[in-house]
Structure 1
């Protein structure tokens, strides 16, 4: 493995996997891209003849860079008015033949929220083993611990994740459920809302004043009714690669964005950003007047 061209080709073959790993470790696509660039720089400075298993070497280096970044974050105080938000990415929801592949690559916000609450070592053990099938003996070497300890870390993390890592239903089914929710909300149809919301739904809103959590369909509906306003326009968009909802004022100012987790034909979890100031600084789909939404 001495050819620079061959080395670059193998690295490019591994790039998407490394980005996916770093994204789940760090919760930020931009940070994940930075990690992969750092891995490449370390690779070109390393003697390629000493690398027996290049994909495994790349995984180890990426994991160590991510772990260092997570540990540094843990000791970096956040401003009081800047809560540790998950990364929201919002785009138009346009059906395409690549829907299935895109859905497989999407990282749901519900999972990012739960992963963000894990300690750095737990997060690494869970992500590497449960998502990328890295053996515990290799994880132990990265963490500087035993395979038994690494296994216990992953087990603790698994209990905390509690199903947030389960994949959503197919994208078309997700669209149908999100559309049904929007229709029921527009019509003020309480019974229809109960049908589309899981009885134990968790609704987590990131607001300028902090994080607000509502649990249970009736509590979520009551809160939605209190916050409903005739001047709000809502339509379906993609949030972190999965069908969700965005709202605007009738003058076009973005108000909120909601990522919806759908299982069993119902919305089981919503992660929302309700912060017009933050939304105004984010790339988002253009506002459309009422009556032109999906």
Structure 2
């Protein structure tokens, strides 16, 4: 392969990796997909490819779609790549890792999407790939592809960019946790956005609760009423533990404009087992 082709591919590598990572939510899978795209390119006649960037995007999209369709065992989902750490304030050296991570809130929702919906949403909404090009990857018309992305967009309805857990955000989350613990329904409604979206990944699938009233009504169940303060993919969150030290759930909060707009929880033991969590506090299991 001519050096110019190699140079063009290397110039595209970071973008291709970002596309694959956002579609798949896994650095390891993304690297595998990009490497396979390189191998396929090396077997092509360079002169026959008019638009190399478009050709590579199509190949990476199709390979990513194959990976999505092959995921049938729930523990294989890339929850092990969500950064969960005790919240001790911002650490500058972690900024790059957090910015490159797929947030828990987005990952929980993306996992509930059909492969075609997920690919169409990520490629179009995050990388501005035209529907005509996405349609060729999916084998669908541009109109049908646009409908897939629209359905996915309605299901997601959460900010997709990285967000830091600033002091003001943590204060809002702590207010929610106190209100949940005390059963203060009015305070819960004050800190929840009227259109807040709660997603819970359970052993039986993803459960979605919409609206402040509905979320507040069930806020005292699960981990919302207590737990260890953590950062989950850069978002303020909590980890709750069973008395024997096993993780019960991980919850991440999205705060916009002083109110909680999204709550994402993982309560599936298989998913939790794949995540690298901090050690439980010494108080967990004390007195048993």
Aligned pair partner of 1:193 in 188, 194, 207: 188
The equivalent residue for 2:286 is none
Aligned pair partner of 2:31 in 33, 37, 42: 33
Q: Alpha carbon RMSD of aligned pairs, Å? A: 3.8
- Using structure 1 for the length normalisation, give the TM-score: 0.73
CA separation in 1, counterparts of 2:174 and 2:29? Answer: 33
CA separation in 2, counterparts of 1:143 and 1:214? Answer: 30
Q: Deviations over 1:113-139 (max 9, x none)?
A: 443444433433332222111123322
Distance 1:233 1:153, change over 3 A: closer
Q: Deviations over 1:149-176 (max 9, x none)?
A: 4344434443x33623554765425434
Aligned pair partner of 2:176 in 171, 175, 181: 181
Where do residues 1-294 of structure 1 align in structure 2 (5 Å cutoff)? 2-3=2-3, 7=6, 10-73=8-71, 87=79, 89-92=82-85, 93=87, 94-97=89-92, 104-158=99-153, 160-161=154-155, 163-165=157-159, 167=161, 171-172=165-166, 173-185=168-180, 190-208=185-203, 210-227=205-222, 234-249=227-242, 252-276=245-269, 278-289=271-282
CA separation in 2, counterparts of 1:70 and 1:228? Answer: 30
Q: Which runs of 5+ in 1 are unaligned?
A: none
CA separation in 2, counterparts of 1:87 and 1:39? Answer: 25
Q: Deviations over 1:165-209 (max 9, x none)?
A: 554765425434334334544566554433222244333323345
CA contact (8 A) 2:121 2:149 kept: yes
CA contact (8 A) 1:260 1:270 kept: yes
